[in-house]
Amino acid sequence: MATHSESIQARKQRKFRYTAPNHARRKMMGVHISKELRAKLGTARRSIPPRKGDKARVVRGEHKGHTGRIFEVDLAFLKVYVEGAHTRTAKGVEKLVALDPSNLVLLDGEFAKDRLEAINRSPKAVLQGKTASIGAEGSNREAKAQPQKKQMS
């Protein structure tokens, strides 16, 4: 199944977003990576899907400037909930606000081996010939370079 709609018609674009399978919805949830984190990871990639526990900053909307950990990623509604970004209901109960992932910037997160591999997978990801190599602890480690193909001479 495709991860994007082939049509340019708005009604078909909306239908695709509403009926998309989870693997496609996850790709629709891209959150921008801050310049500092891109430099730390050594990647040119601009966005990645968010995960629970990542540190993000709200850059648009009523909660602009708020920084907090991602509490929940809701694939059903394509929304992200950030700790501390809340509103009061008519009954006086505080509830987390559902934020659009496009209004967030990722500041920090846990980049374990599987997530680093996903970042390095795209051809645009590698910056200046280096691969992203931040461990789960946050320490820099040299990533093994891919073996070069032997040239026949």
Question: Is 58 within a domain?
Answer: yes
Judged against a pLDDT cut of 80, whether residue 8 lies above it is answered with yes
Give the domain CATH number at 117: 2.30.30.30
Q: Is residue 6 part of a domain?
A: no
Does residue 50 sit within a domain? yes
Dihedral, 61, 62, 66, 70 alpha carbons, nearest 10: -70
> How many CB atoms are located within 10 Å of the residue 13 CB?
13
State mean pLDDT over 46-70.
93
What is the rounded average pLDDT for all residues in the chain?
A: 83
Q: Do the beta carbons of residue 55 and residue 37 sit within 8 Å?
A: no
Instruction: Please give the Cα distance from 79 to 71 (Å, whole number).
Output: 11
| Contact in structure between 78 and 20 (CB atoms under 8 Å) | no
Number of domains in the chain: 1
Inter-CA distances, 112 with 9, 55, 116, Å = 39, 15, 6
Within-domain flag for 147: no
What is the pLDDT, as a whole number, of residue 45?
Answer: 86
Classify residue 128: in a domain, yes or no.
no
Q: Tell whether 40 is covered by a domain.
A: yes
pLDDT at position 142: 45
Q: What is the pTM of this model?
A: 0.74
Burial (Cβ within 10 Å: 0-12, 13-18, ≥19) of residue 141: exposed
Higher pLDDT, 117 or 58: 58
| Domain housing 108 | 29-121
